[in-house]
Structure 1
Amino acid sequence: MTDVIIVGGGPVGLLLACELKLGGADPLVLEAATGEERRTRSLGMRSLNARTVQSLALRGLVEPVAAAQWATLDEFAAHREPADADLVAMLVELLQKGQMKGHFSGLPLLDESGRAEYLMLKQDRLEAVLAERAAGMGVRIRQGCAVVDVTQDETGAAATLADGRVERAAYLVGCDGGRSVVRKRSGFAFEGTPPTMTGRTAVAEPDDPGAVPSALRGPGGLVNRSLVPGEIATIEFDAGPDVRDVPMTAGELEASLRRVTGRDVVVKRLETGIRYSDNTRHADTYRRGRVLLAGDAAHVHSPIGGQGLNLGLQDAVNLGWKLALVARGLAPAGLLDTYTAERHPVAARVLRNTRAQVALMRPGSQVEALREVLAEVLRLPDADRHFSAMVEGTDVDHAPGTPGGVGRFVPRLEATPADPSGGPTPADPSREQTRSDASDEQTRSDPLDGPERARPVAELLRDGRGLVIDLSGADGLHAALAGHRDRVRAAHAAVPGDGERVPAAGGPELLLVRPDGYVAWAGARAGLGDALTAWFGPAR
């Protein structure tokens, strides 16, 4: 029987599949859409914030995603309209200089030091990178497989397809979007606030391109010409779209442009278009028995601010290693409860700030005054840090107030592998038999094999195992992991210069870092065994 069925093969589902496969589980991805449908939902640009970029770095994915970004922007440069040239050139320059951090309701957040971690690309380009990685790992992906029902019992979950076939697995994860069949059929509550706006993005050709401004905030709403050549977007604050599934027409977009701009715009051709709103809802929990939710299936909100994709990708990174351990029988099912406990508050915070961003986009002199005041506030260093951390996802703390950095993303430091070979050391041969050949090959070709040297922690997490970092310089750490070496590797923190590393007075001797990069535990060696069991299951 399959370990995990993933319903939905967008970026969240694909990244989750990669994480599960890396953890030794056998996932099956069922995606309803095929070519044209997938292209339509990829309208507009998507941003990857700092925390998502840091997470992708843990798996060696930043380089191919960045390459896809620049290929996309080069393609756009060859087809840009003269009226959009300055805006596109400015954004490209900010990305090249490492100054782009994102925005809050259109108010830019910039890093003058040039250390920002931020990427922009079309969703289909990101999906292509993740699909290639998944295929290379041996993940099974089936397109054109619409799931119409989901059931579960004490031993597993089942997905019924539109053609009547039934697929069964130990667990099932809904990554199937805001109108998730998995969520609806599995009884998750989805409360929130109704829409107050209608957004439209379309590939269209106006009769006079100059009649559509590059960017405008006016009494009727907003309009802008996308970075993507040929794309036009409008937002009207009109209580939400009347229809969602009826294809957009040139007449519909033309009417919206006229209301927003006050100009007699004529749209002579519309290729494709989508509608969206600020409908904001949140699942009461992300797990019901053997069924879980991730991405838009668990939370929907306004796309203003570009946080939705990042929120979903972070769900996948948080859930993947945990579900792999549980599905393989290495950790108890209770570990999955930490998924809701950790990710639900993060999403609630995003839903709150996206509501605020929508409010700041509304037309009117009072809102304009508020935007001017906030723009002044954002020039204050402390305010800039606060809003930037919120938008970049770097303020996430799964254990607020806990010392030793527990609950926070691992600090930037280097460490030297303590494993004798520098590579994976399974506790017993049975681990190799539970992983697919593709996943085994990826593990055996670990870039850490070779001469022992200090490496960034991100590299040490690349094989999907946890990491115990010794801060004291004591020996015997590798042996202390004994029955957990199939799930956790050991490393010594690198120390500049000579001499032994001694932890700061009152500081921890060890850090236990999870596969997703967050510190799970910090303390003395005597407590390591209990921490390993709590987060990675019993010793083998």
Structure 2
Amino acid sequence: MDTDVVIAGAGPNGLLLAAELRLAGVRPIVLERLTERSTEQRANGLVGQVVRALDRRGLAEPLGSEPGGPVPRPEYIFAAMRLALQLIDNNPVYILPSPQAKIEAVLEERALELGAELRRGHELADFTQDDDGVTVEVAGPDGTYSLRARFLVGADGGHSRTRKLAGIDFPGVTHDATVSRGGHASIPAEYIDPATGVLRIPGYGDVPPFMHHRSDRGLFAYAPFPGRQPLVHTSEWDEPDTDEMTFSELQESVDRVLGVHLPLIQESPFVRRNVGGNTRIAERFRAGRVLLVGDAAHVHSAMGGPGLNLGLQDVLNLGWKLAAEVQGWAPEGLLDTYESERRPVGERVVMQTQAQSALVAPGPEVTALRAMFAELLTEPATVQHIADLISGADIRYFDGRHPLIGRAVPDLTVDGVRLAEILRSGRPVLLDLLDGSPYASHTNDHVDLVTGSSDRQVAMLIRPDGYIAWAADDANADGLEDALDKWFQGRVLTKATT
């Protein structure tokens, strides 16, 4: 074998997967057709539980998170309506503003630091697979060559060549009624409240920054990112222009959506028009030794910014399972749990983004529906439900006797150290915070045992992706050995001898 895993695509998902595999001792080669990182304006940050997940790998602070761990935000948006997160007790919505170019730079640095190989200017051309591995044909700057690997992972986006070559269908819907326009533009100072940054638009009203605002004619957003060029964005339901996008077209779109003239000041040549969109989920996430992550497996509306939350958590779920398969210790069926756990999550993201798209559509009926929804969003239980949904905090991969089983590990401090810092090795951890517990008498070379004291008395078996395989509140609970055998066969703890 030339390598253990070939990854097609060096976007955020491919780069994080390379880092995860290296943490587990597996050799990946990442193929990327671009010779340099893209400077195209795409994602503007991370939203949801992925911020906590990256904190558990020590990546949140390099991306701009607060020292000492991410802090949930007091408000967000749902379908261009304010989500008052201060109304709820358990706020799961974390936001980490960071341009995709920076995200890719940080993840590339980590992957290379850990020893991953990145081949820019090299692109997946074709592949064949058999019982033992995958032969990948690569189109490189000096011609075509072959790589032999145990597995191939497609992290190559919504138009994934990996998915197409694997013969995996991509069912769903395509709509072409929406035209989105964006560009780098600022607003004259006289329109901006200096204390709050709210736009005061004569003849229209107030528009907060960094939030979508709906009128009966479309959506408008203004994002004055600190230290970066501000962005103006619109969405309309109209016939798209066929000529090359211009700044004047953006100005005209803003005026149509607002119904009044709001002067824009062009900050750069960058302008972009997108027409329509797709909502699709791959028929399967695995075809033999070929797997899909991120947009290669699912595409959906960008409403609410769920894309990287979904894709990067695909990677965190897959990485350790794929490493176990490569290294030969995976329990039977472990790799298949990647799809069984992640497909329902993708389906929920599709559901909620479609719902948000419907709630921002034009028309008086939608306006009436939004008025009713705004009333519901004053109820803490409704806010909690939607916050959990859009952040991914409602994920429970599997049930168990303890309410923590199947869920993401909570934030804890163990003897003054944040649990997120303890989990940075990417190894499974048996965390024992119970006084006089028999679990602390176990030892093993492959599952790290961590003991100590915390505000919460609990024992947990934590998977490398940060989800809880087993938990107990007392020293008499059973099920630990079964959980170890289910997830880490051949890595079962043995009691220490005295």
- Whether 2:344 is the aligned partner of 1:392: answer no
- Whether 2:491 is the aligned partner of 1:529: answer no
Residue from 136, 140, 143 that aligns with 2:120: 143
Please tell me the residue identity of whatever aligns with 2:486: A
**Residues 1:173 and 1:66: Cα distance change in structure 2 (over 3 Å):** same
| d(CA) in 2 for partners of 1:45, 1:385 | 25
TM-score (norm 2): 0.81
Which consecutive residues of structure 2, in runs of 5 or more, have no partner in the other structure?
Answer: 192-198, 202-206, 493-498
SS at match of 1:129: helix
**Residues 1:475 and 1:310: Cα distance change in structure 2 (over 3 Å):** closer
Whether the 8 Å CA contact 1:414–1:493 is kept in 2: the answer is no
Please tell me the residue identity of whatever aligns with 2:83: L
Equivalent pairs, count: 459
Partner of 2:34: 33
Please tell me the residue identity of whatever aligns with 1:217: R
- Measured against aligned partners, the alpha-carbon deviations of 1:79-120 in whole angstroms (never above 9, x if no partner) come to xxxxxxxxxxxxxxxxx9953453211222243389763211
Whether the 8 Å CA contact 1:59–1:462 is kept in 2: the answer is yes
- Measured against aligned partners, the alpha-carbon deviations of 1:211-242 in whole angstroms (never above 9, x if no partner) come to 99777634442233333535332212359x79
Partner of 1:158: 135
More off after superposition, 372-381 vs 221-230: 221-230
Residue from 465, 474, 477 that aligns with 2:427: 465
- RMSD after superposition: 3.5
Whether the 8 Å CA contact 1:346–1:396 is kept in 2: the answer is yes
Please tell me the residue identity of whatever aligns with 1:169: A
Partner of 1:65: 63
Partner of 2:80: 106
| d(CA) in 2 for partners of 1:255, 1:522 | 57
Whether the 8 Å CA contact 1:413–1:493 is kept in 2: the answer is no
Partner of 1:79: none
Please tell me the residue identity of whatever aligns with 1:368: T
| d(CA) in 1 for partners of 2:328, 2:406 | 25
Whether the 8 Å CA contact 2:184–2:270 is kept in 1: the answer is yes
SS at match of 2:51: helix
**Residues 1:182 and 1:57: Cα distance change in structure 2 (over 3 Å):** same
Partner of 1:491: 450
| d(CA) in 1 for partners of 2:60, 2:251 | 39
Query: Offset at 1:206?
Result: 10
Identity %: 39
- Whether 2:223 is the aligned partner of 1:226: answer yes
Please tell me the residue identity of whatever aligns with 2:237: F
| d(CA) in 2 for partners of 1:384, 1:126 | 29
TM-score (norm 1): 0.75
| d(CA) in 1 for partners of 2:326, 2:430 | 23
- Measured against aligned partners, the alpha-carbon deviations of 1:353-401 in whole angstroms (never above 9, x if no partner) come to 0000000111111211211221221111111111111111111101146
- Measured against aligned partners, the alpha-carbon deviations of 1:299-357 in whole angstroms (never above 9, x if no partner) come to 10000111111100111111111111111222246211111011100110110000000
Residue from 46, 51, 54 that aligns with 2:52: 54
More off after superposition, 378-387 vs 164-173: 164-173
| d(CA) in 2 for partners of 1:289, 1:225 | 45
SS at match of 1:395: coil
| d(CA) in 2 for partners of 1:52, 1:34 | 28
Please tell me the residue identity of whatever aligns with 1:340: E
Task: Within 5 Å, give how 1:56-455 maps onto structure 2.
Answer: 56-66=54-64, 99-112=73-86, 117-162=94-139, 163-203=143-183, 217-228=214-225, 229=229, 231-238=231-238, 248=245, 253=250, 256=253, 260=257, 270-273=269-272, 275=274, 277-332=276-331, 334-400=333-399, 402-415=401-414, 453=415, 455=417
Whether the 8 Å CA contact 2:440–2:451 is kept in 1: the answer is no
| d(CA) in 2 for partners of 1:255, 1:519 | 52
| d(CA) in 1 for partners of 2:343, 2:353 | 15
Whether the 8 Å CA contact 2:71–2:94 is kept in 1: the answer is no
More off after superposition, 303-312 vs 198-207: 198-207
Higher strand share: 2
Higher helix share: 1
| d(CA) in 1 for partners of 2:424, 2:403 | 23
| d(CA) in 2 for partners of 1:364, 1:344 | 33
SS at match of 1:24: coil
Partner of 2:469: 520
Whether the 8 Å CA contact 1:31–1:145 is kept in 2: the answer is yes
| d(CA) in 2 for partners of 1:481, 1:99 | 40
